[in-house]
Structure 1
Amino acid sequence: MGASRSVALEVLINGPISRSDIARRLDLSPGSLTRLSTPLIESGLLVEVEERADGRAGRPTKPLDIVPESQHFLGMKLTGDEVLAVVTDLRANILYSQSARLDSREPEAVAAVIARLAEQLSEHVPSVTAMGVGIGGLVTEHAIVRSAPFLGWTDVDLGSMLENLTGLPTVIDNDVVAFTESEHWFGAGRGADRFAVITLGVGIGYGLVVHDDIVIDGDSGLGLVGHWPLDPFGPLCPAGHRGCARSVLTISAISQAVSAALGRPVDYDEALTLASDA
């Protein structure tokens, strides 16, 4: 199953792709690749696409590609106030979206909201293969939220809770890690073997891909990049660091700086509008 999964992932990320390129990337013989790919084609997961010449003598190649509609997935983004939910195909194309407010931040209440959204979105597709949830915090084992200060959570086994409620295989991950992987596989980073992602919002997020692999360590999700010094004379952040990224680049920091400059309250959306009109 491991080798078949590797073939499917190679086609998912890089398809359409020729069999010779798959064999080269995975160090497989032509016979082994045929043995592994045939069941994937017969199951409807992979498909042979239009022949194309590869610049070499002989018959044109028939590349392999994923059948996007062969599987569907649920994606959830958990914030302090709401859950944003989508159902996608195998290439992460969003088919339907929905959101729900959080009346409580207690883990059981949040899990119930996610489960309800999962049930509603599942009605739009024939079946759902699995669900992923992104959360701003420290996550281990793709299941346990070790720390999510914006929710007041410590050591919450959100993965097990949701699997019990929905019956779906569920992966929990730090939202910036998940976003970086999405950009790596399907977005602006597709085909790039190294790039960085920086997100600005309630906090500062940082993701890194090097040698075509996402860099993850024990600090992923802690938001340490938010304390990188930017301005030695800047304002203090809530943790007492002067002029760090969090003190000047977050939503609240930008709103406060613009409000002080104009002498009136300015929210983040208006600050962006003023900047774009300047």
Structure 2
Amino acid sequence: MMGASHAATGAAAWLALTGPLADVSGIHVDPQLQLIGALTTAGAALISDWDHPRATIAYALPPLTNLIAAGIRAIAGGHRQGTHSLLAVLAFTALAAALTPLRATLAGQEYAIGQGVIAAFLVTVAAKALLIIPTSGYISAWAIGLSIGALASTTAPGAWWIPVSVALGVSMHILGDGLTKEGVPLLWPAKPAAPVPNPVWGRDGRFRLLLVGTTGSWREWVLITPITLYIAVAAADLLPALISAGVDLPLVAHWSHP
């Protein structure tokens, strides 16, 4: 799937799990965090493409993210290999869980640098994928990244929802690419053939449901259009609650565990 499609599925999944499916998912958050989480999950939904040097995420915060992309590509074994597996979901989620609590003290002030770095990165990726900022720009990318990073770093540490957002975003990316003809190697590094021939688990060890076909096809647009409309409707429904409560992004309660 295309980058914008991945971002849309990530945002929609967060809005659904924290909205109409909150009782099932157990993720109960306020309207502000529903919107913030939708943005970070949109960014997280592009993490799996960090194995491609020309992907949106590789140019999120250049040149740093370009260098990291080269390293991930080498470790993952190329595009749509290791980063598109169940192991990748566990690895990226564990990394987010390990980084989120990191703190640093400067001039007597404690900063939550872990959640600041992650939030800055994910929001910048989402902004580029959704064409909020230029996809190849340096200045705008670092400007929004540093702004979001400063905001997240100066609030209380313990943003429990960040690893959840990452896990959900990466999972949605893999699911989305699993709808294309290329499929995904869910069991990587192993690529076993299906013990019994079937249309889902191929002889190449990849899993696929041919609902989208090729990336960027008309079928992908048919799938993403209602998802995009859902995001617009869900966001519009949250605005009255935000306005009545007063939008105050730095509020500690919105970032940390109750």
TM range, smaller chain: under 0.3
Bigger RCO of structures 1 and 2 (CA < 8 A, at least 6 apart): 2
- Between Structure 1 and Structure 2, the one with more strand by share is 1
TM-score (norm 2): 0.25
Larger Rg: 1
